[in-house]
RNA sequence: GGAGAGAUGGCUGAGUGGUCGAAAGCGCUCCCCUGCUAAGGGAGUAAGGGUGAUUAAGCCCUUCGAGGGUUCGAAUCCCUCUCUCUCCGCCA
């Protein structure tokens, strides 16, 4: 949620900022509603004040002191006020409910350093790291390699459940598990994150807190059986919600959490995209970094978090580039986002493997997550950030495609080998050479 | 799944219809005293919002798990829900 005071006091600034995203703000509707809200609120509060004062008088009369002659008349007057109060209150609640709902649909403001643009084609490449490998044979994509290794089966998954799932077996199932442990260990031991294990189901409030609801319901899997539970689309939701309703002491910040979870996405609206392979699935594994920080440090925290995600790619010797998303491509809740794109020889292009965002106080307002220096200070909103480090399925695909040889062997990056029994290659049949 | 108890400010905890936004303690802040330290004394200390001159004082409204109800008036009475704890059952 963006700052309502800013909205009330500097509407044109908000409208102009959101226009950078291509978001059109109906400011005349808003101004009208807001004016009505104001009038109703003043009226409502005045009626309440009258009632409170009158009730106090009645109390004084009844408890002995005072003129009991006026009692009946006073109580009658208060009953009339109560009636008017009820009417006014209903009107006020209705309009306030509408405004609340509207606020939840407003995206975050874009940071000044984010370039203007309408879509992904206008994202800015910040840097490139590593060289795409040169093959003297036709590079296979990960689907073909998976087939060759006989360890990746989409047909089986579709019999079990349907399209956009995969079954991994043998060396590839092990590779995925190795990657998860590898990433977690680095973030904990080298980058100083606290490992957390969290629920994979969350309620509506949590999803509103991080911004997936109410706008993006279509992208979520909802559990039919219970009132308001959803499968998590990312660990961002349960992990960031650890900060909900909390007031952090200054010494506790920054909080840096890392979690591995499966992620479930309906992928509504992506029909026809990435139909083949592990790039876009209903279920995938991800290691997620979350940072809770004071406002003055969130800018640096974004650079740091991005560097931590990059560290994984470097250690895995995967070529990638860092993209600064333009205003039109930046996500709903984010003020600034870096995407990491890994080179996929099978597709002959860079593809997103991580997305690192600074939400500033947008999620904090929805979550009611605050901090303060001393117990008598006024609490302020924290800033929240998160980033994938990394999407595991895509990392697995990238390793297969970048590190294949003509015979279909996959060389294992040096630093990953301890997680795979120190073998230097993956080969078919689950064996090693 | 069954039975019972509970949910109050940063924390512990009192409060069963009116002067309670809430005793007391802890914590924290400031001041005084004590030549250090320890101890002692005093004052202050919930959040959100409206109005005000957009960041003042003042005035006002809301909030005692959430939602509804009774009443002139609800932390307090009634209903529904959520969560926590204890015991029993079941279970990885």
Between residues A246 and A426, the one the model is more confident about: A426
What is residue A430's predicted lDDT score, i.e. its pLDDT?
46
| Distance of A245 CA from B65 C1′ (whole Å) | 13
- Share above pLDDT 90 across residues of chain A, in percent, rounded to a whole number: 62
Domain regions of chain A by residue span: 26-103, 120-426
Integer-rounded Cα radius of gyration of chain A: 28
Give pairs for A169-175: CB < 8 Å, separation 24+. A170/A429, A170/A430, A171/A426, A171/A427, A171/A430, A172/A146, A172/A396, A172/A426, A174/A420, A175/A396, A175/A399, A175/A420, A175/A426
Q: How confident is the model at residue A227 (pLDDT cuts 50, 70, 90)?
A: low
Residue ranges of the alpha helices (H) in A63-169?
71-105, 142-149, 154-160
CATH architecture of A120-426: 2-Layer Sandwich (3.30)
Q: How confident is the model at residue A426 (pLDDT cuts 50, 70, 90)?
A: very high
Mean per-residue pLDDT, A182-193: 98
pLDDT above 80: residue A224: no
Reduce the DSSP state of residue A431 to 3 states and report it: coil
pLDDT above 70: residue A429: no
Q: E strands, A304-428, where?
A: 320-324, 336-344, 349-360, 370-372, 380-381, 383-391, 410-411, 425-426
Rank A29-43, A81-95, A245-259, A387-401 by mean pLDDT and report only the highest.
Answer: A387-401
Q: Which nucleotide is nearest to A53 (CA to C1')?
A: B73
Structure tokens at A282: 């209903």
What is residue A411's predicted lDDT score, i.e. its pLDDT?
96
What is residue A378's predicted lDDT score, i.e. its pLDDT?
75
In which residue are the tokens 């297969």 written?
A400
Query: What integer best gives the mean pLDDT of chain A?
Result: 91
Angle in degrees, 0-180, between the axes of helices A170-185 and A142-149, rounded to the nearest 10: 120
| Distance of A396 CA from B28 C1′ (whole Å) | 52
Give the count of alpha carbons within 13 A of A263, CB side only.
24
- Condensed to tens digits (0 to 9), the pLDDT of residues A23-34 reads 988 888 888 888
| Distance of A99 CA from B67 C1′ (whole Å) | 20
pLDDT above 80: residue A21: yes
**Would you give the DSSP letter of residue A409?**
-
Give the residue nearest to nucleotide B49 (CA to C1'): A41
Give protein residues whose Cβ lies within 7 A of nucleic acid chain B. A 4-5, 8-9, 38, 41-42, 44-46, 48-49, 51-56, 58-60, 62-63, 75, 78-79, 82, 247, 374-376, 378-379
Burial class (CB in 10 A: 0-12, 13-18, 19+), A215: middle
| Residues of A with catalytic function | 265, 280, 352, 355, 394
Q: Which nucleotide is nearest to A93 (CA to C1')?
A: B62
What is residue A72's predicted lDDT score, i.e. its pLDDT?
82
What is residue A431's predicted lDDT score, i.e. its pLDDT?
46
Beta bridge partners of A357: A337, A386
- Condensed to tens digits (0 to 9), the pLDDT of residues A255-301 reads 999 999 999 999 877 777 888 899 999 999 999 999 999 888 999 99
Q: What residues contact A317, with CB distance under 8 A and at least 6 apart?
A: A130, A402, A403, A413, A414
Structure tokens at A65: 């002191």
Nucleotides of strand B under 7 angstroms from a protein beta carbon: 10, 18-19, 27-29, 44-45, 47-51, 54, 60-62, 72-73
| Distance of A293 CA from B29 C1′ (whole Å) | 24
- Condensed to tens digits (0 to 9), the pLDDT of residues A64-103 reads 655 667 788 888 888 889 899 988 988 998 888 888 888 8
């Amino acid at each position: 949620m963006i700052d309502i005071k800013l909205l009330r006091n500097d509407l044109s600034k908000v409208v102009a900022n959101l226009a950078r995203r291509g978001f059109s703000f109906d400011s005349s509707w808003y101004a009208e509603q807001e004016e009505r809200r104001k009038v109703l609120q003043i009226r409502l509060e005045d009626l309440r004040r009258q009632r409170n004062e009158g009730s106090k008088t009645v109390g004084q009369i009844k408890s002995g002191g005072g003129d009991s002659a006026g009692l009946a008349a006073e109580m009658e007057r208060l009953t009339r006020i109560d009636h008017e109060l009820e009417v006014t209150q209903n009107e006020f609640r209705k309009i306030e409910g509408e405004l609340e709902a509207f606020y939840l649909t407003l995206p975050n403001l874009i940071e000044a350093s984010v370039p203007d643009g309408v879509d992904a084609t206008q994202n800015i490449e910040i840097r490139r790291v590593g060289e795409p490998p040169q093959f003297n044979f036709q590079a296979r994509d990960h689907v073909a390699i998976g087939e060759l290794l006989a360890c990746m089966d989409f047909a089986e998954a579709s019999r079990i459940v349907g399209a956009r799932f995969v079954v991994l077996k043998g060396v590839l199932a092990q590779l995925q598990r190795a990657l998860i442990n590898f990433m977690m260990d680095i973030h904990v031991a080298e980058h100083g994150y606290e490992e957390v294990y969290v629920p994979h189901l969350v309620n509506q409030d949590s999803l509103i807190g991080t911004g997936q609801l109410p706008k993006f319901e279509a992208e979520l899997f909802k559990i039919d059986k219970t009132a308001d539970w959803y499968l998590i689309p990312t660990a961002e939701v349960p992990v960031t919600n650890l900060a909900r309703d909390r007031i952090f002491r200054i010494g506790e910040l920054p909080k840096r959490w890392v979690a591995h979870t499966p992620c479930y996405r309906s992928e509504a609206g992506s029909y026809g995209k990435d139909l083949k392979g592990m790039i876009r699935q209903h279920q995938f594994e991800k290691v997620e970094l979350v940072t809770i920080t004071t406002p003055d440090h969130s800018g640096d925290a974004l650079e740091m978090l991005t560097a931590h995600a990059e560290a994984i790619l470097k250690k895995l010797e995967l070529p990638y580039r860092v993209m600064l998303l333009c205003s039109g491509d930046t996500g709903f809740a984010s003020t600034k986002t870096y995407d990491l794109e890994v080179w996929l020889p099978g597709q002959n292009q860079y593809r997103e493997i991580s997305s690192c965002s600074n939400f500033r106080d947008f999620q904090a307002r929805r979550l009611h997550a605050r901090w303060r220096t001393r117990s008598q200070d006024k609490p302020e909103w924290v800033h929240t950030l998160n980033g994938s480090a990394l999407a595991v399925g895509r990392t697995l695909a990238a390793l297969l495609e970048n590190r294949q040889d003509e015979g279909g062997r996959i060389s294992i990056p040096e630093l990953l080998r301890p997680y795979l029994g120190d073998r230097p290659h993956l080969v078919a049949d689950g064996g090693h050479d």
